[in-house]
Copies of this chain bind each other. A is one copy, B any other.
Amino acid sequence: MKKTNKVTVIDVARFAGVSPATVSNAINSTRYVDVETKKKIDRAIAELGYVPNLKARRLRTGKANAIAVFSSMPFSISAGPSRLGFMMEIAASAAVAALEKQLSLILVPPLPAGDPSFDHVEADGALVIEPSTDDLYLAELKKRGVPVVAIGRPNTGPSTNVPYVDLQAKTVTETIFDHFRQTGARAPALFVGRTDRMAFHETETAYRRIAAQAGFAPVVDYLDERQGEDAGFEAAQKLARSHPEVDALFVQVDTFATGAVRGFSELGIDIPGRMRIATRYDGVRARETTPRLTSFNLHLDEVAKLALDRLLQEMGQMPGPQSIAGPAPEIIVRDSSMAPT
């Protein structure tokens, strides 16, 4: 445990026989400095082992050289087998892209609601993953004037026009219910989260329209995100009792989906024979559950890259479109939704 170096730009200046301003200019190549002088300064830096103090530099310049990735999805959703799957997949791609731009990426996992104490997080810009309507992060970030890009459509209020990369909930919904219909399902239902997220609204709206057109009675349940898998489990059992006619189920959140699978299985309901199931995010959950879950390749890596590019625009005060359509989601059909043999 060494004591951190206390060599400052002043020491370097003294050693090199110049002024601190010149040292600064030499380091940052802000202004031209004589080659001889530069050499002396370089020597002094090497000799003294000088390392610039970033905290001071940032105070002075006002830049943090950092991007933050936020997710307001509560712990119970993010944790478990897939860890922070959805978030991490985006974070990984964003981190790679950010690094190329000389920015570091700060990972902000879900905080307990009501305590958005991210007072210790500072970034020049932020990516917010699937914000809820009254998203605390989003509000606070806007309040602080931090440029934000959402991944997934945010609240559509007139005042809060944050740019976003569309995750195309409508396309996903239409595709999956089309798939259900083609494999013979007659009464497909929907589980979404109870939280007021645009993604849920979009899905529900699309679903109800499909139901109206196809002529089946929509069955929707709203699950509490904080309860995690158990919410899916219980909702599934309730659904089996109250709506025995239902023969397919789209569960938007993968955590709920695995819970629902357990719920049906315990009642002896065969998947996919008696009940087809699908979810949206193709994470470890979808792939490892038995039966393996039909889901979507959302191309999150591309989504992340698009979002970061848009964010850099925003940070650079450059104008850009409010909405960006990412790559089209592709359905991945697996055992959980095959047609009965």
Task: Show the binding face of A for B, using Cβ within 8 Å.
Answer: 1-5, 49, 51-56, 58-59, 62, 64-66, 68, 79, 83-84, 88-89, 91-93, 95-96, 99, 102-109, 111, 117-122, 142-147, 284, 287-288, 301, 314, 317
Contacts and interface: CB of A to CB of B under 8 A. Distances in A.
A59 to B, nearest CB: 4
Contacts of A54: 119-120, 122
Contacts of A119: 52, 54
Contact of A108 (B104, B118, B287): B104
Given A54-B119, A92-B88, A104 B106 contact: yes
Given A51-B144, A55-B59, A314-B1, A66 B106 contact: yes
B103 A120 contact: yes
B59 A5 contact: no
Given A3-B145, A105-B106, A145-B3, A83 B301 contact: yes
Count of identical protomers in the assembly: 2
Nearest to A61: B55
A143 B91 contact: no
B91 A107 contact: yes
A46 to B, nearest CB: 12
Contact of A55 (B58, B88, B96, B314): B58
- Tell me which of A51, A88, A117, A144 has the highest count of chain B C-beta atoms within 10 A of its own C-beta: A88
Given A54-B120, A99-B109, 19 more contacts: A3-B145, A4-B144, A5-B144, A54-B119, A55-B55, A55-B62, A56-B59, A58-B59, A66-B120, A83-B92, A84-B96, A88-B91, A92-B107, A99-B108, A102-B117, A102-B120, A104-B108, A105-B106, A106-B107
A113 to B, nearest CB: 14
14 contacts: A4-B146, A51-B143, A51-B144, A52-B119, A55-B55, A58-B58, A66-B106, A79-B96, A83-B301, A92-B107, A95-B107, A96-B109, A104-B106, A105-B107
Q: Nearest 5 A-B pairs (CB), nearest first?
A: A4-B145, A65-B120, A55-B59, A54-B122, A95-B107
Contacts of A104: 68, 106-108, 118, 120-121
B109 A2 contact: no
Contacts of A105: 106-107
Contacts of A144: 4-5, 51
Nearest to A93: B83
A59 B58 CA distance: 9
A244 to B, nearest CB: 36
A44 to B, nearest CB: 17
Contact of A145 (B5, B79, B142): B5
Nearest to A75: B96
Contacts of A49: 143
> Quick one: which of A49, A55, A64, A96 has the most chain B CB within 10 A?
A55
A106 B238 CA distance: 43
B95 A109 contact: yes
